[in-house]
Structure 1
Amino acid sequence: MNNIKQFLLAIFIYLVLTFHDRVLASSTTTRDIIVPKISDWQITVVNGLITSETLFVHCKSKDDDLGEQNLHLGDRFSWNFGENMLHSTLFWCYLSKDDGHMNVKVFWDDVILFHRCGWEKCVWTAKTDGLYLWNSAIGEDLLLEKWETGW
């Protein structure tokens, strides 16, 4: 009987270590049952460029390409997902505007990021001088990344 318990535990550990993050649709998947989510998150990228430039956004994770977006002033691009049990969920975006670009992480396992995002929603706003994260703990935008010049 003890061997059966060890065998089942080994299978469970194998499944936990081999399944990858997936952006979640509105329904629960088999993966959600096998590898429970630590928490649900929403990431939003906003075009706050006062010059009315179009903001090009291309976000992805290791497993999910969220596609290319062209955001006009005030437009938002958002997605929802569940952080995995191994705390390895990572999303990054390439952003570009007329005279600048950047590659930036928009979600990673970091308690400071989680605190700033209120443990559920990270709102990133592209402005003329760089990319800002809304810090819900203090109620203001924080400049976290400056634009690189050129393409």
Structure 2
Amino acid sequence: MKTLTQNLVLTIALLLTMAMLITSEANGRLRADETAVIKNDISGENITIHCYSSEDDLGIHTLPYAANFTWYFNVNVGGSTKFYCDLATGHGSGNYGVFDRRLETQCHDYCLWLIQAYGPCLVQTAYAGQLYCQPWKKPPHHIKAFAS
């Protein structure tokens, strides 16, 4: 009887653990916690972007004026998720970190980047929409097309 009770308790514990893991996995895949948006804010110009993390390559995209590229994701358990974008415009280009733990405190769960003539700007929702802007890392004469 003691062995049967022990087996029953172990079986129930195992089933509960499996149910929690399945629920956790499903929640992580059905609802993303973070949103990142890259928006072309340079009138009359197309921009080229290539965004990626250590786990995801989001591809190369050309955005006409006022268009945006949006993606949704979850931060990993250790909180070390980082996304970068290669940005190329007629005004300059460069590689920029568009999401990490530090930037998350400035934009919470919705990180909107406006790509402007003088560089990319993060709309800081944590600071009443103030812009955090960076200059272009490379002037226009250094711009190269991204390799496909």
Identity of aligned residues (%): 26
Letter in 2 for 1:33: E
Q: Which residue of 1 aligns with 2:42?
A: 49
Q: Which residue of 1 aligns with 2:57?
A: 65
Give me the whole-angstrom Cα distance separating, in 1, the residues matched to 2:23 and 2:54: 17
Letter in 2 for 1:78: T
Give me the whole-angstrom Cα distance separating, in 2, the residues matched to 1:31 and 1:72: 40
Q: 1:72 to 1:87 in 2, by over 3 A?
A: same
By percentage of residues, which structure has more strand?
A: 1
Letter in 2 for 1:148: K
Structure showing greater Rg: 2
Give me the whole-angstrom Cα distance separating, in 2, the residues matched to 1:79 and 1:67: 11
* TM-score normalised per structure 2: 0.71
Q: 1:31 to 1:97 in 2, by over 3 A?
A: farther
Q: Which of 102, 110, 133 pairs up with 1:143?
A: 133
Letter in 1 for 2:124: N
- For residues 106-145 of structure 1, what are the structure 2 equivalents within 5 Å? 106-110=98-102, 113-117=103-107, 119-136=108-125, 137-145=127-135
Q: Give the aligned length.
A: 120
Secondary structure at the counterpart of residue 85 of structure 1:
coil
Structure 1: gaps (5+ residues): 2-28
By percentage of residues, which structure has more helix?
A: 2
Structure 2: gaps (5+ residues): 1-5, 7-20, 144-148
Instruction: Give the CA deviation at 1:120.
Output: 0.7
Structure 1 runs of 4+ off > 6 angstroms?
Answer: none
Secondary structure at the counterpart of residue 134 of structure 2:
strand
RMSD (CA atoms): 2.7
Instruction: Give the CA deviation at 1:145.
Output: 3.9
